[in-house]
Amino acid sequence: MSDIHDLIPDLSHLKGVRVIAAMSGGVDSSVIAVLLKNAGADVIGVFLNVWDYSREDVAGHGSCCSLDDAYDARRVCDQIGIPFYNMDMRGNFRRDVIDPFIADYESGRTPNPCERCNRFVKFGALLEAADRLEAKYVATGHYVQRRDDETGVHIFKGNDARKDQSYFLATISREQAERVLFPVGHLEKDGTRKLAEHFKLLTAGKHESQDICFIPAGDRIAFLKQEGSTAGLREGVIVDRDGNLLGRHQGIAHYTLGQRKGLGLPGGPWHVVGLDGDSATVVVARPEEAVIHEVDVDGVTWIRRPEPGEAVTARVRYQMQPAACQVSENKLLKIVFDQPQKPTAPGQVAAFYSGDELLGGGIVASAV
């Protein structure tokens, strides 16, 4: 039992405080809800209904936020004895996530729908709902850590490097960060499951979601067609940086910057280094040429602005280690990496760190 109790965070300061538990129907959110309840917080479970799943069969695809997930979230709230609300966020999700997702693929950008969902829905519209419910905080199952001191809120990477989700929170504002709690951010995934089993939660053995929630089968091309998108599916040409014709394609939406597999081009290997939505052109280059040195970032927000001379690292793709860089601000924030990096795509997140602390981030506008 002592091992279990070592996993439980001290949430005693939340006794009597109203907190919204963002319920996804998975094990992480189930555990945060029971931890808050046992700490004496006034917990309200809220499930965000973001997508009309009646239009497709999502069973077995490992999606999140499905009808089954809503049912599981409600059952867990009943099990631990807290109120449950199913909140209709379909309009917000359509406007802030789906429509930009489609527009990005049509233009040649590579969207990051999880980041937009966090920024606009989970930490945007949900915080507005928290105001209506007179809740001080929203708690989520993200694997990041919050530590406050005399200077205010600080957000750090999760202890489980395999599950760290700080990259996807890089664009939230300091004001949003001040109102969000992460009760399992100090745990590894196995620890969260141990707590779920300890509390005998109904979701303790549930598999976690992997796909984008509104593309449960992982087929973005089928989704774009279903949505009536055509601009990103126009036939076009594949050329090298000198304009030499190497092949043809069925639409730029099939490609992402940095892609090297599935190109089917002679004389490879090749990497995708450019996507032009207007001309439906895919540009490729040799691996040694498919690196970037500088990235322009738009819409930057800071949870904590770096001090003058403070060493800053940046991630411009989820699957990369933060890399040393120099940062300067004009109309756009510019990153100059100390060493060349693999390509990133406009539309992706640029996340800034000082050590393990998440400082803030923005959206990649261009990279060279």
Residues marked active site are found at 117, 213
DSSP state of 89: -
Using CA atoms, how far apart are residues 313 and 275, in angstroms rounded to an integer? Answer: 27
Q: Quick one: how far is CA 267 from the chain centroid?
A: 36
Which segments of the chain does DSSP mark as H helices, in order?
2-7, 27-38, 67-80, 90-93, 99-107, 113-116, 126-132, 174-177, 189-198, 220-226
What values do phi and psi take at 308, rounded to 5?
-55, 130
End-to-end CA distance of the chain: 54
Radius of gyration of the chain (CA): 22
Using CA atoms, how far apart are residues 117 and 109, in angstroms rounded to an integer? Answer: 17
**Pairing between strand 84-88 and 281-285?**
unpaired
Directed axis angle between helix 27-38 and helix 67-80, to 10°? 20
What values do phi and psi take at 280, rounded to 5?
55, 45
Specify the 3-state DSSP secondary structure of 138: strand
Question: Which of 263, 249, 251, 248 lies closest to 224, judged by CA?
Answer: 251
Using CA atoms, how far apart are residues 117 and 123, in angstroms rounded to an integer? Answer: 8
What values do phi and psi take at 275, rounded to 5?
-135, 120
